Chain A
């Protein structure tokens, strides 16, 4: 567990280091993920400790999100004013995206 977490923290810090030194607008965690992907690809296997930690930490995602989402209480006025519009936009905008994605997946293929 801890060894795997150590790996993740190394790549997260590496991501931040690259972000700062290259002045990239991309989040440190994403750069860290790409670095880790390169690392695994070069090794052509996933270190066991890393696989264990990932399967333990990933299901806890909702817990990690709760504090961020609680920040919504600072946006009360905005939600009171635009809540319904936002909900409608979120629903309607899904439809074209879903249809386009499915169409591309089926282009030039024969299906039953």
Chain B
């Protein structure tokens, strides 16, 4: 009976099912940023692997079929980037500075804190990928002596904390105009931040999506040379 757990089709089914459950829960709760479908799906799949005593190596036979599509999704980011570069040409320098300096600040803080507090190189390297959208973070982690699964978790947690904290923090410091808030969400909290920005309004969403894409591309190009 338990041989079914060795059948790759079973884990494809289970992963799609876990995602759909996560999506349903997210929609039922009114799309709160603390319960993104990826987190629910992750919890369900991990629980299923532990319950059936299936090793991650076995699960990967099916998992890799699904996560392969992260590649095409990253390639497709060219489309929003093209659309936004077009509409925001006049502010290009300001946006470029905000993306580079803003993301360098948060990443440098995280990496330095990790070095000081934990002192394991692979974890510091993984920290460097925390503010970029998951498909890029995972691809990078694979290339640069970091831990892809940990990168996915850091990115997910950063996104959730950022989506909840950033609008409030900027309101507190009286810098909560749509452009600044959108940029901060995109630079520091990637896709989860961008979906939060979409709830706040169109201008927020446009800046956030652009910031997210620019941050991911810049990091993907620069980080491998630095570490």
| Cβ contact within 8 Å between B147 and A68 | no
Contact A53/B113 with A70-B49, A102-B184 known, Cβ cut-off 8 Å: no
| Cβ contact within 8 Å between B188 and A97 | yes
| Cβ contact within 8 Å between A61 and B191 | yes
User: In this assembly, does B158 line the interface, its C-beta being within 8 Å of a C-beta of chain A?
Assistant: yes
- Give the B interface residue count (CB, 8 A): 101
B99 to nearest A CB, angstroms?
8
Complex formed: what's the CA distance from A61 to B143 in Å?
A: 21
Q: How large is the interface on A (under 10, 10 to 19, 20 to 34, 35 or more residues)?
A: 35 or more
User: In this assembly, does B134 line the interface, its C-beta being within 8 Å of a C-beta of chain A?
Assistant: yes
Interface string of B37-56 (1 = CB under 8 A from A): 11001100110011000001
Name B's A-contacting residues (CB within 8 A): 15-16, 18-19, 22-23, 36-38, 41-42, 45-46, 49-50, 56, 59-60, 62-64, 66-67, 69-79, 81-83, 94, 97-99, 101-103, 105-107, 109-110, 113-114, 117-118, 123, 127, 130-131, 134-136, 138-140, 142-144, 147-150, 152-154, 156-158, 161-162, 165-166, 169-170, 173, 175, 177, 179-181, 183-184, 187-189, 191, 211, 216-217, 220-221, 224-225
Can you show 24 pairs from A to B with CB atoms below 8 A apart? A8-B75, A26-B221, A26-B224, A27-B143, A30-B216, A30-B217, A32-B75, A37-B78, A46-B79, A54-B79, A57-B69, A61-B38, A62-B38, A67-B63, A68-B63, A68-B70, A68-B152, A78-B150, A96-B106, A96-B109, A101-B102, A101-B103, A104-B98, A106-B177
Q: Sorted from nearest, which 10 A-B pairs have the closest CB atoms?
A: A97-B106, A71-B149, A67-B63, A101-B102, A25-B224, A27-B139, A29-B74, A93-B110, A62-B38, A93-B109
